[in-house]
């Protein structure tokens, strides 16, 4: 197992286990079930969607090949879905000791983080506007 500077390499399995759970729910779950269960505390309390609202249903839709439905649930779902699968694959390679190490610049990480946050909160803003217009 390649652990790098991590003193507890088994901690690397936690995100892999979480992703495996997401993949299992996505593969075998049905969107209808999750429409009946309140998953988001923010939405439950405020009545407004949070930035991540719809991701569970979107991921299930992605696993079932319903891409347009997934985008309707959360516009960033396809991007997050691909990133999740890549992370899962890389984590498995890393755990098996076969993963290459790569370094990115601090400026590159900041640019990627800022872009992602802009997209994440931008789609949330559009979702809020859409909900506001639907209630009028």
In this prediction, residue 2 carries a pLDDT of: 46
Sorting pLDDT into bands at 50, 70 and 90, what band is 68?
very high
Tell me whether residue 128 is in a domain: no
Q: Is 13 domain-assigned?
A: yes
User: Looking at the domain assignment, is residue 116 inside a domain?
Assistant: no
Q: Report the candidate in 91, 24, 32, 94 with the shortest Cα–Cα distance to residue 63.
A: 24
What pLDDT was estimated at residue 36? Answer: 64
Mean pLDDT, range 21-33, rounded to an integer:
66
Q: Is residue 54 part of a domain?
A: yes
Under 8 Å between Cβ of 59 and 121: no
User: Which among 40, 79, 41, 42 has a CA at the least distance from the CA of 56?
Assistant: 40
Q: 27-31, 50-54, 92-96, 123-127: which has the minimum mean pLDDT? A: 27-31
Segments forming the whole domain that contains residue 91? 9-103
The structural domain count of the chain equals 1
Supply 72's token pair: 């309707």
- Structural domain contains residue 38: yes
DSSP 120: H
Domain presence at residue 68: yes
Give the pLDDT band (50/70/90) at residue 42: confident
Report yes or no on 108 lying in a domain: no
Domain membership of residue 72 (yes or no) is yes
Place of tokens 């879905």: 81
């Amino acid at each position: 197992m390649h652990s790098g500077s991590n003193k507890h390499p088994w901690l690397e399995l936690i995100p892999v286990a979480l992703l495996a759970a997401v993949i299992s729910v996505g593969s075998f779950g049905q969107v209808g079930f999750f429409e009946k269960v309140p998953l988001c505390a923010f939405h439950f309390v405020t009545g407004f969607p949070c930035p991540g609202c719809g991701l569970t249903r979107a991921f299930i839709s992605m696993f079932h090949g319903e891409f347009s439905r997934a985008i309707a649930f959360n516009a960033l779902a396809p991007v997050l879905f691909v990133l999740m699968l890549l992370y899962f694959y890389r984590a498995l390679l890393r755990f098996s000791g076969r993963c290459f190490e790569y370094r990115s610049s601090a400026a590159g990480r900041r640019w990627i983080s800022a872009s992602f946050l802009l997209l994440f909160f931008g789609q949330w803003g559009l979702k809020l506007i859409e909900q506001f217009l639907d209630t009028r």
